[in-house]
Amino acid sequence: MKNYKITLQYDGTRYLGWEHQPGKDNTIQGKVETLLGRMLDRPEGDVPKVIGAGRTDAGVHAAAMVCNVHMETAMTPEEIMTYMNTYLPDDIGVTDVREASERFHSRYNAVGKTYRYTCWYGACKPVFDRRYIYVLDSQPDLDAMRKAAAHLIGTHDFKSFCGNPKMKKSTVRRVDSIEIEQKGERITFTYHGSGFLQYMVRILTGTLLEVGFGKREADSIPALIAAENRTLAGYTVPPKGLCMMRVDY
């Protein structure tokens, strides 16, 4: 039994997210496991367990989701990749397959993750990119948002930015950097950190946009972090603008 490290990219528009959901089969994890079960000629219901580096939510995309799976096959990594790209839906693709050590775990061994949220502000409608960007009604103040973002850097309890009110595990996370850039009509928020809570990147982005639109002060962020109260933070921006860009090991 070998352990394979697989890197995927996907358009999450029509999926319910990465992780299995009871009674529903329209997830990225489900599609990959079902296909590998067919590749290994296993009976229905006996599919290999695919472990993802993260749990992207419904409608969120990935440029480089890493997962691993233990399975017995005579196929080479190149043949596995070819098979998967042949039979996976067109909105899911495999960019790399390689043998990993027996103990490699795509989630527990990850030391950092990068997510990017993309907004758009301009005179024209982004017709061809509409599934991947969040259209803004006005131009936000980038300098104010950068000032607010500086308060978020470091290790903090991000409970105010967690979308799961029943979260029982620690909500402490480390954010290494937040880069806010504008190129033409695109405004991107690039986050790198040790890991992110459910909806955390989307809530952080909504909060920063509120600063950019003058709805809250940049210097209010430390008090917001200290409050550990989700109702005090900004709104949750739509999932379509979010993409997992990289997982570090």
> What amino acid positions are annotated as catalytic residues?
57
DSSP per-residue codes, 165-227: TT--S--EEEEEEEEEEEETTEEEEEEEES---TTHHHHHHHHHHHHHTTSS-GGGHHHHHHH
Best CA proximity match to 199, nearest among 169, 165, 168: 165
How far, in Å, CA of 160 to CA of 165, rounded? Answer: 10
Amino acid code (one letter) for 103: R
Amino acid code (one letter) for 199: Y
How far, in Å, CA of 244 to CA of 249, rounded? Answer: 15
Residue 46 tokens, joined: 């006996």
